[in-house]
Amino acid sequence: MTEAALSVQSLRKSYGDVQALRDVTFEVAPGEIFGLVGPNGAGKSTTLRTVATLLNADSGTVTVGGADRDHEPNAVREALRYLPEEAGAYENLTGRGYLNFVASFYADDPDPLVEAGVEMADLGERVDDKTSEYSKGMTRKLLIAAALMTEPDLAILDEPTSGLDVRNARQVRDTIKSYPGAERSVVLSSHNMLEVEYLCDRVGLLDEGEVVATGTPEELVARTGTENLEDAFLEVTA
Amino acid sequence: MRQFLRLTWKEVRELLRPRYVLPILLVPILFVALGQGFGGIDEATSGQPSVGVVVNDTGEYGAIVNETYSQGAEVVYHGANVSAAEAMERTRAAGGTALVVVPGGFSERIAAGEQGGVQVRTVVDSVSLTGIASSGQVDGLLGVAAERITKTATGARDAQLDPVDASYVTEVKGQQVGQPPSVLSSAFTSQFIFIPVVIMLVIVFSGQMVINSMGIEKENKTLETLLTMPVARRTIVAAKLVGSATVGLLAAGVFTVALSEYQSGLTGGASALPAAFSLGAAEYLVIGAAIFFAVVGALALALVLGVFAGDRQGAQILLFPLSILAIAPAFATMFADFSTLSLPLQALLFAIPFTHPVMAPKQLMFGDSGLVLAGIAYEAVFALAAIGLAVYVFNSDRVVTGSAGRLGRWLQRLQR
C-alpha cells in the first residue's frame, strides 16, 4: 500500500475557549491535489498551519510522507512548503535574491532551483527588481514559485489566488495544476469553487472544525444531488 | 552552521536598511556637532585676543598694563592721548574686538593708595558662545596686570600674596587620594554619568534591533514562511539574537563615539580621575562579561516581547518596558551609591539584570568585586532563562498567533 503524502487523523485544536478543530481527518495521496473547502472560520487555515508545523495540535496525529510532525518537525518541514494566505517577501531582496535565499535552505547548489523558480515566477526582467517594488500579483507569483521550485513532496497553498486579477490567477492556477507528480502533492484551500473544481482531484468539506464530507468534486455533487460544487458546498454546510 | 550564518546575514541586511538606521544615526550626529561646537569655543579662547591699547598714563604702573597686554594679547593698535571713540575705530579697522584704556594719573592714584581705573571697551559682533568667549581673556589679562602692579607697589612675594598652601587628602571608601573632594567629585561625575549612559544605550539599541526584526517579519508577513523552513527554531532564535546584537552593538558604538566626542568637547579631553581609581585589564574583562550577559538577556527578552508585535510600529511600543528596565538602574546609580540605598531598593535594583554592568565599574573602582561577581552570576542565569523562554515561545503557537493569555492581551492593548 502506498504511503499517504499527508495523513491527518482526529486533529483537535482550540484557542482558549474556542474549539477551532473538533475532529479533522483526511488523507492526501501522492500525486493528488486535495482541496480543503469551508466557510470562514471553519478551520481551514488552522488545519494547514498545524500541518505546516506552525501550530501545535491539542490531540491527533499528522504525518507527512510518513514523518510525524510532533516527533520529526524538521523532517516534515523538509518535505513540505507552505504558502500562507497573507505572505510577503523580504523587501530588501530582489525577486531572484529571495528565490536564492529560499533555495539555499534546500540545496547546496541553489542555482538550478533558482533558475526553475525564475521561470515559474515568470516576472521577466522585473525578477531582478527589489520585491518592495512588486505589485500584489507579482509578489504572489514569486511566492508560488518559491514554494514550488524546491519540488516539495507536499505543497500547502492557503488561498493561492486570493486578491489576484484574472490573468495572474489563471497563471497561478496553471502552475499549480501542472505541479503534481509521482511524489508531489498539493493541499490547497480556496473560497473559489470553480477554482477548486478545476484544480482538485479530491475535496474535503470542512465545517465548524470537522471534515463533513470528502470525495472528488463529481462525487460530492452526485452525493448531494446538486448541480455543481458550490451548491454541494452550500448543501453540506447549511 | 551554514543556515545559521545565512539567517544571521539576512537579519543584519534587513536591519541595516536606511529606514531603520538613519533615525538612529541622527542623535549621534547631533552629539558630535554639539561637541565640535564646544570644542570651537575652546579653540576660540586658546589663541590670543586682538586688542587695542591706549595708555594716557606716563607712570610705571601704566607701563605694566601695557606690557602685560603686549605679552598676552595681539595688540593691533597702540595709542596715547587719543579719544576712546577714535581708538576703538582704529582698533576695529585693524581687526581688534576690544580696547583697553589706561587713563592719565593711573600710576599716581595707585601710588596714593587708591584704585587706578582702567576702561575695557568690547565689541561683540556675533551673539554666540564663541563670539563672546574672547572677552574673558581680555579680563584675565587685566587680572595678571593687577597682580604684577601689586607686587611692584608693595614688594610682596608670591607666598605673601597667596600665604595659605592647602594640601588635600581625601579618603574615599578607605582609599586615600591626594586631591580635593571637588576634583574627585567632578572626575567621578563624568565617569559615572558617561558609563551608565553608554551601557543603557547598548541595551536599548540591541533590544530595539531585535524587536524591530520581529516587527519587520510581522509587517512584511514573512515570519510564517520562515518558520516552515527546514531550520530548527533555536537556530532562528540564535540568528535573530546574533544579527540584532551585531547591529545593536554597532549603533551603540556609534553613540559611544559621539558621546565621547561631545564629552571631550565639553571638558577639553582632560580626565582628572586619580590613578588609584583606574581600572586594570582584569577589571575591564569583568565589566565586559557584565555587559555581555546584560546584552544577551536584553536581546532574548526583547525577542520574546517582539513575538507579540503586530507590526514595526507596535514593536517600538513594546520596547518601552525594556527601556524602563535599562534606564532605571542607570539613573539610580548615577545619583546614588548602591551601598547607601535601603535594602528593598537594593534588592529591586539587584533584580534588574541591567543594573550590574552599570554598577560594575564603580564597584570595581572601590574594590567591591564580590557584588559584581554575584551580579554577573545572576545576569548569566537571567540570560539563560530568557533564551530558554525565547526558544519556548518560538516553539509554541504564540509566535504565530501572538496570543498569550492575559499578558498577550495586555501587550496587544499597548500597541493600539
Which residues in chain B (223-252) have CB-CB distances under 8 A to chain A?
224-225, 227-232
Residue A214 sits in a domain whose CATH number is 3.40.50.300
pLDDT above 90: residue B163: no
**Chain A neighbors of B228, CB-CB under 8 A:** 52-54, 77, 80-82
Q: Report the candidate in A88, A209, A226 with the shortest Cα–Cα distance to residue B14.
A: A88
**Chain A neighbors of B227, CB-CB under 8 A:** 53-54
Report the pLDDT value the prediction gives residue B311, as an integer from 0 to 100: 72
Q: Answer yes or no: are the C-beta atoms of A131 and A90 closer than 8 Å.
A: yes
Report the pLDDT value the prediction gives residue B265, as an integer from 0 to 100: 64
Handedness of CA B353, B354, B360, B363 (dihedral sign): negative
Q: Are residues A53 and B229, on separate chains, in Cβ contact within 8 Å?
A: no
Side-by-side strand order, sheet with B119-122: B74-79, B50-55, B98-102, B119-122
B-chain residue closest to A83, CA distance: B225
Half-sphere exposure (CA, 13 Å, Cβ side) for A43?
A: 27
Report the pLDDT value the prediction gives residue B97, as an integer from 0 to 100: 84
Half-sphere exposure (CA, 13 Å, Cβ side) for B154?
A: 12
- Which segments of chain B belong to CATH 3.40.1710.10? 46-156
Percentage of the residues of chain B whose pLDDT score is greater than 70 = 86
Beta strand extents in B92-142 (DSSP E only): 98-102, 119-122
CA–chain centroid gap for B387, Å, is 32
B227, B230, B396: residue with CB nearest A56: B396
For residue A1, tell me if it sits in a domain: no
State mean pLDDT over B139-159. 88
Question: Hey, is the C-beta of B118 within 8 angstroms of any chain A C-beta?
Answer: no
Q: Answer yes or no: are the C-beta atoms of A160 and A188 closer than 8 Å.
A: yes
Q: Are residues B230 and A105, on separate chains, in Cβ contact within 8 Å?
A: yes
Give the separation between CA B378 and CA B372, rounded to whole angstroms: 10
Report the pLDDT value the prediction gives residue B68, as an integer from 0 to 100: 92
CA separation, residue B328 to residues A237, B351, B353 (Å): 57, 12, 11
Label residue B31 by pLDDT band (50, 70, 90): confident
How many A/B residue pairs have CB atoms within 8 Å?
67
For residue A123, tell me if it sits in a domain: yes
Residues 6+ apart with CB under 8 A from A234: A226
Q: Which domain holds residue A115?
A: 6-236
Report the pLDDT value the prediction gives residue B131, as an integer from 0 to 100: 58
Give the separation between CA A78 and CA A170, rounded to whole angstroms: 28
Q: Which residues pair with B220 in a beta bridge?
A: none
**Chain A neighbors of B224, CB-CB under 8 A:** 49, 52, 54, 82, 84, 87
Convert the pLDDT of each residue in B183-208 to its tens digit: 777 667 666 777 778 778 878 888 88
Domain count, chain A: 1
Based on the number of CB atoms within 10 Å of its own CB, is A123 exposed (0-12), middle (13-18) or buried (19 or more)? buried
Region for residue A12 given its phi and psi (left: phi exceeds 0; alpha: psi -120 to 50; beta: otherwise): beta
Alpha helices in B223-368 (DSSP H): 223-227, 233-267, 281-306, 312-335, 343-351, 355-365
Label residue B415 by pLDDT band (50, 70, 90): low
Residue B403 CB neighbour total at 10 angstroms: 15
Report the pLDDT value the prediction gives residue A99, as an integer from 0 to 100: 95
Question: Hey, is the C-beta of A53 within 8 angstroms of any chain B C-beta?
Answer: yes
Give the separation between CA A120 and CA A114, rounded to whole angstroms: 10
State mean pLDDT over A39-44. 88
For residue A223, tell me if it sits in a domain: yes
pLDDT above 70: residue B127: no
Label residue A53 by pLDDT band (50, 70, 90): very high
Fold of B46-156: abc type-2 transporter like fold (3.40.1710)
Report the pLDDT value the prediction gives residue B272, as an integer from 0 to 100: 54
DSSP state of B230: S
Which residues in chain A (88-107) have CB-CB distances under 8 A to chain B?
88-92, 101-102, 104-106
- How confident is the prediction for chain B on average, in pLDDT? 81
Average the pLDDT over each of A1-10, A172-181, B248-257, B301-310 and give the range with the smallest value: B248-257
Q: Which residue has the cell 590613578?
A: B275
State mean pLDDT over A83-95. 90
Give the separation between CA A38 and CA A205, rounded to whole angstroms: 6
**Which of B116 and A115 is assigned the larger pLDDT?**
A115
